[in-house]
Structure 1
Amino acid sequence: MIIGTLTTIAGACHGQALVPAQEPYQDWLEAACVMQPWSGERVSAMIDERAEWIPRLQDWGVTAVIFIPGPGDIQPNYPTEIVRAAIDDYHAAGMRVLMYWSIMHVGHYETWHTVANEHPEWWQRDAEGGVVTVYGDEWLCPSTGALDYTINLGIEIARALDVDGIMLDNNEFYSTDVGATGYCDGCQAAFRAHIRGKLGDEALRALGLDPETVGCPLPGEPLWPHWVDWRYIAWRDATEQFRRRVREAMPGTVLCANTQYKGNWVLAVHEQIAAEDLLFSESRNQLAREMSCKLAYGHCLADGKPVWNYLGTWQDDDLNRLRTSPEILDRLCTSLAWNTGPWLVGYGLIFQASAQWWVPTSYVAPEGVRWTRDESGGIDGSVAVALSSPGIARIGVSHQPFLAIEPGQRFSFSARYRTQDVQGAGPRVRITFVDENRRAPEGEPYVFYAEGEGGTHDWQEMRLDGIVAPAGAAVVNVEPFLWNASGAVWFDDVRFQHDGEDLVRNGDFEMPAGEIDAEARATLVGGLRFLREHADLYRGATRWADVGLLLSRHSVDFGQAYNRFPRPTMWALMDAHIPFAVFEEHQLDAEHLARISVLVAPQASCLADEHLETLAQWVREGGRLIFTGATALMTEYAVERESDLLAELLGHAREARAEPTEVGQGRAQWLPQGDASAEVAPGLIEAIRALGGGEIVHIDRAPEGIDLVAWAQP
């Protein structure tokens, strides 16, 4: 698939107002490209070897990086002063730096486990008191003291590191096997205050509820839809408080959050984007069409703010490998066409190890330790991996990914090694079997060691036979070491065999890290350089479309109209090369509607009275509306209306509008539609064109698979 970006200068000759994009809070947010190293050798490379990586990243087109502060759950844990020194160097090179953080798990910082243990009242809880323990401890709730705690600590660390921005990960409620969270004591009190202010005590008493004790409802209870809406507000208010405090303490610092806004109401993320300086879209591993749908919706939620798009460029089963060039093009071109800054993770891109599939490991590492791929240090002048340290160290190289095996299989291990002045325990290879969750399997033994001799000697063989995979084992890790020793050891010809087949890849270390993906990396870098060289096309660009698509959040949350966005309708517009802009119901106002000439409302079943009145007024003043299926037959909270209010406001029964009908200066048309998740309304594209929509761009003789995303520079 080819996705092109069309940027041009447009006027309002087609009736739509061309509204400039929002002025970004900081200029560098537009046309940005962010690199996130994320754990292990990638972080070590970008900190310890930054003199090499900073110019390389800049050459690729990367403009910003993000680091996670330690100590915490994500290795390596560098002291603050070392990370700060690295950040100073990135700043000196003209790059921006963000800090990874979160409210719900304190950015994986070590104190998460302390406060989670000391403050059970801070835990996110479901209706039965259950908790969320994804990532190893209880998730914290923004309606509790956890919010102030994470804000205060986050600002303290951000100031010490002198970062330019903070990214809040997993900024959301989560769910348990019981259902959604949002029932802790803090949520109960916050919702009580909210609903009393929203409905008033008399209305609550009329529902048989005590205003003094009313709490978070269960599904089917009268306040359920209000609680669903409040959960969005809770995260919006928490994020806004975080941003306000950050701006007070660190003027100019940006705030964004990783929100899975494609998900349903359980996560409660959509409102908070108004409190962020940009929208961060994690579109990892989504193909072009799905990514296009998500990014179209993301631009709706961003409402003129910059959008960053987290791409998945690595292989799912091997974090050291990139996807193929066509797969990378599919993702990157889609992202660039939708004017979203690429957010990259360093898998398959950032290496500290110099040999493919072998990752440095560090358990005890005094200053001066080295992992090197010695191009002439192997047997007969071949390549070998060398581990060296001036002091007692425990360092190694781990085969990544782990090798898939089955319980009961028998293996033999062998390797060649030589040493120089090894003092202490000496060379060793550890073979570790783990289960599918990377934990100890049920059977034993699951760890085996092949031992070598220290001192100084030429090549010898290290061998271990009769290795049996224990019960419950799924994968095995092969890890040569300099184990609790100083000096240097070289390894070559590492083999781990089953029935004569060697499972280890690159056991002779002949292939340098990253060489296997040179073509894919060049493809990715070429796209990033295009963004860098043509940044002026992206900065300040605004969507150019005369067709609007109404995606009703309440229709999704309460009417189950479709799964967050109506894919068949969006695909049909793309197939017809009709640029479109997406709106949510809160954007049904004069400012947003002035940007388009035709609005399509597919199965927007749950709309408030004021939204229908706004739509009808827009049509009477010249707008053109196509609404399908059960649009507007229910209130915003899925209560069936006694009459068809939208049809009444437009002057005719909806069935009488199967053809375009004049309404004041505008026109309206109703089309039948079934499941909007599975089908497009029959005749939709013809209806759009009959009403004068989709005419601002034409592609003659376009090959199949071309999608059009149109942008303009006001």
Structure 2
Amino acid sequence: MEWYEKPLRFGGFIMEPEIAKRMNCNVVQISKTEDRLFEKVIEEFHKREIKVICYIGTFWMDEKMAKEHPDWLQKKGVKVKTFEESGRFPCPNSGWRDYTFDYLKDTLKNYEVDGIFFDGPGFYAGSCYCDNCQRRFKKQYGKTIPLKFEDNPDLYRNFIRFRYESINDFIRDAKKEAVSIGSKVPIYMNARGMKGLTKSCGRDVQEMAEYEDIVGAEAFMYYFSKHQTLDRPLWEQSGTAKFMKAAARRYNKPAVVFVTCTISPWSWRPHPEGEIWMMVGETVANNAGIWFEWTDERMKQPYPEWEIARKAYGFLKENEKFYEGAKSSANVALLWSRQAGDYYDEDEVMDLTGDFSPKGLAIESRDISKTYRSCYRGIYEALIRAHIPFDLVLDKDLEEGTLLSRYKTLILGNAPCLSDIQMEKIKEFVKNGGGLVATYETSLYDKEGRRREDFGLRELLGARIKAGKTEEGFAFGGNILLDKKGHSVKKTLSTIVPAPFYLMSVEPLKESEVIGFFSPRGELKINTNYPILITNRYGRGKVFYIAGNLGDTYWNIAVPEIKQLIANAIEWVSGESPIVSVDTLETIEVVLNYQKKENRYLLHLVNYTGEMARPVNHLLPVKEIKVSLHKRTFPKIKEVTTLKKRQRLSFKEKNDTFEFTIPELANYEVIVIQCQ
């Protein structure tokens, strides 16, 4: 096992080895300084058994370089910007690329660094139309780059693909350059996390992961406005960790999540205790290393929170063996689709004529019925609140299909853009006994956003677009009236469930069964012309289709019946009760991992129960958490202990389960379940 494949505790930009040691770091990420000083600093870190990653900032050029090489700058739209206007962003297809590779090789030849991190490069909104990109694009596609999608849709799709290829080529060739001089150190770069769509920057982690040695992205938390703060979920680090692991899993590579250490935009005041423990717990529970944006000067300020962070890293250091080699035991998978973000999601539109200033990069709202990210976020939020352990799967996972076999249930929380190959793999998964939960416009478009006449998965969904109806309808304030008494999806639900804001006009296929119909606002009468909840069987599997943007609705308004409907649907299509049930507040994330060699499960509990404001200053303790483990996964249990408090918990058998109670959860805890 390579050193970077073990649990990572990054010390950010700490340059003083003693500070990094005191904070329990095992790796730092620092920039080159004056030659002899840099060499000495590396030596001192190594004496303390701390690895050194060399940070190379590749998203920015200084003023001097921009003046000397204006042809290296990205060009936005049709107007060439001066370096002041452009923000000095280098184009990865320019001569700047060779300059960076020379810098890389010089660093590796002359210093004993343990790895290289590229902070960038990436494309910026509305770019790049520089001469270098135009030449390369024309060589590949025979035409110049179109300014807008509407100008030439197919050619613009190639432009989206072109940006991804340019970034992939950069990290692939950087690795080749390092190998060419005999270097074997890990090389990786800053990918795009969950905070935005990848189409504007070209950094897609599921493709980059093939070429880099560590897979990582930012999950930074900024507090610029109330609206912006509320738009960032409490589970930002959790989602990013799951995303990075999903990309890294195919190549068996480690993942890391980069997090801020201060209440930005204030650069000195650290996050309070509650935020620190959430960030740490969310990240490591989901099997990623953690990188805090620490610096020497920040760590010298007299804030008690630095001691909280030190103890958190100390806990991880002391218990490293409970994280090393652990893998998720979730049997539910949620799709995160770059395809939908590229060709369907319309909640962001980039201005091609403005400059690279904050104003010029501003996004404006568009059709709110086409918001893929909020559909995804709502389902993610519901799964967290229902305490359902789950993984993310990506577009490539659907294409290959082999990974799906490890799951009982696949959730397509509005997956509009699917290829024919992906749909065949999904059909095969369900036919062989898998469960599928799908919503809204799933499979209504091909993988590049071209609308089909009908659902590509209509045989699975058990529904078709109603004849003469091509658009979705606005259903604000309406309800779902449940039908078919006794259907297990209805358990714990009333007969009235708030309906999604947007609905598809569909009609069921004859072999499917409708268990819920739409009723307009102010009415409580079943109208069989508007089916919403449709169940179907395909081969040995089951499908539950919701003809509305349920995830988007829940993301905006967390109606409890919607969360319960999703949880019930998962249980019905899977054909079995959950492998783990946790009876507690909704504000607890549950993650289940397994270490094969030790034959033990690790049940991670992350407490999000704060004080109704961000940043979260203190987490409120949650008491008497009841846990039930199903015997089909846990046939024999030897011992149950809490990792932080070192408590041995008594457990008992009850029918097909083992049950125990956790007396109290303060912030983050790991329950070690040792099997016989």
Structure 1 residue matching 2:43: 3-state secondary structure: helix
Q: 1:125 aligns with which of 48, 67, 75?
A: 75
What is aligned with 1:706? 588
- The answer to whether residue 455 in structure 2 is matched with residue 644 in structure 1 is yes
Structure 2 match to 1:7: none
Equivalence for 2:176: 244
In structure 2, give the amino acid aligned to 1:282: E
Matched with 2:277 is: 329
Residue 508 of structure 2 aligns with which residue?
Answer: 655
Whole-angstrom CA distance in 1 between matches of 2:94 and 2:453: 41
1:548 to 333, 340, 352: 333
Q: Report the equivalent of 2:26.
A: 63
Aligned to 1:692: 574
Counterpart residue type for residue 48 of structure 2: A
The answer to whether the Cα contact below 8 Å between 2:382 and 2:554 also exists between their aligned partners in 1 is no
Cα shift at 1:639 = 1.3
From 82, 85, 88, the equivalent of 2:43 is 88
Larger Rg: 1
Counterpart in the other structure of 2:135: 189
For the residues of structure 2 that align with 1:58 and 1:135, how far apart are their CA atoms?
A: 42
Match of 1:344 among 292, 298, 318: 292
8 A contact 1:312–1:344 mirrored in 2: yes
> Who is 2:219 aligned against?
283
Q: Which runs of 5+ in 1 are unaligned?
A: 1-23, 71-78, 107-111, 196-210, 352-512
Q: Tell me what 2:422 maps to.
A: 611
Matched, 1:628 2:439: yes
Name the structure 1 match of 2:268: 320
- With over 3 angstroms needed to count, the CA separation of the structure-2 counterparts of 1:193 and 1:679, relative to structure 1, is farther
Following superposition, the deviation at residue 316 of structure 1 comes to 2.8
Structure 1 pair 636/131, CA: closer, same or farther in 2 (3 Å)? farther
| Equivalence for 1:226 | 158
Q: 1:31 aligned to 2:46?
A: no
State the distance in 2 between where 1:311 and 1:704 align: 24
| 1:527 CA drift (Å) | 1.2
TM-score by length of 1: 0.63
How many residue pairs end up in the alignment? 481
Structure-1 separation of matches of 2:200 and 2:374: 12
Q: 1:250 deviation in Å? A: 4.4
The alpha carbon displacement at 1:144 in A equals 1.9
Listed as ranges, the matches of 1:113-152 within 5 Å are: 113-131=63-81, 138-152=88-102
What pairs up with 1:360-509 in 2 under 5 angstroms? Answer: none
Partner of 2:616: none
Aligned to 1:269: 203
Shift of 1:248: 2.7
Superposition pairs of residues 535-574 of structure 1, within 5 angstroms: 535-560=320-345, 561-563=371-373, 566-574=376-384
Structure 2 SS opposite 1:162: coil
Contact 1:116–1:137 (Cα < 8 Å) also in 2: no
The alpha carbon displacement at 1:172 in A equals 0.9
Map Cα deviations across residues 628-650 of structure 1 (whole Å, 9 max, x no partner). 11101111222111233211477
1:322 is paired with a residue whose SS is coil
Q: What per-residue deviation string (whole Å, max 9, x for no partner) do you get for residues 222-244 of structure 1?
A: 31122112211210111111112
Cα deviation for residue 695 of structure 1 reads 4.2
Distance in 2 (alpha carbons) for counterparts of 1:546 and 1:540: 18
- Match of 2:239, SS state, is helix
**CA separation of 1:538 and 1:131: change in aligned 2, threshold 3 A:** farther
Instruction: Measure the CA separation in 1 of the matches of 2:238 and 2:82.
Output: 31
Distance 1:562 1:649 in 2: 21
Indicate conservation of the 8 Å contact 1:164/1:252, yes or no. no
> Structure 2: which 5+ runs fail to align?
222-231, 346-370, 465-506, 513-532, 556-561, 597-676
Deviations 1:511-558 (A, max 9, x none): xx543x23x222211211111112122222212111111122111221
Shift of residue 138, structure 1, vs aligned partner: 2.0
Aligned mates of 2:436, 2:387 — CA distance in 1: 20
Which amino acid in structure 1 is aligned with residue 4 of structure 2?
A: W
Counterpart position of 2:480: none
Report the counterpart of residue 350 of structure 2 in structure 1: none
Residue in 1 aligned with 2:364?
Answer: none
Give the Å deviation of 1:290.
Answer: 2.7
Letter in 1 for 2:584: A
Computed over aligned residues only, the root mean square deviation of the Cα atoms, in angstroms, reads 2.7
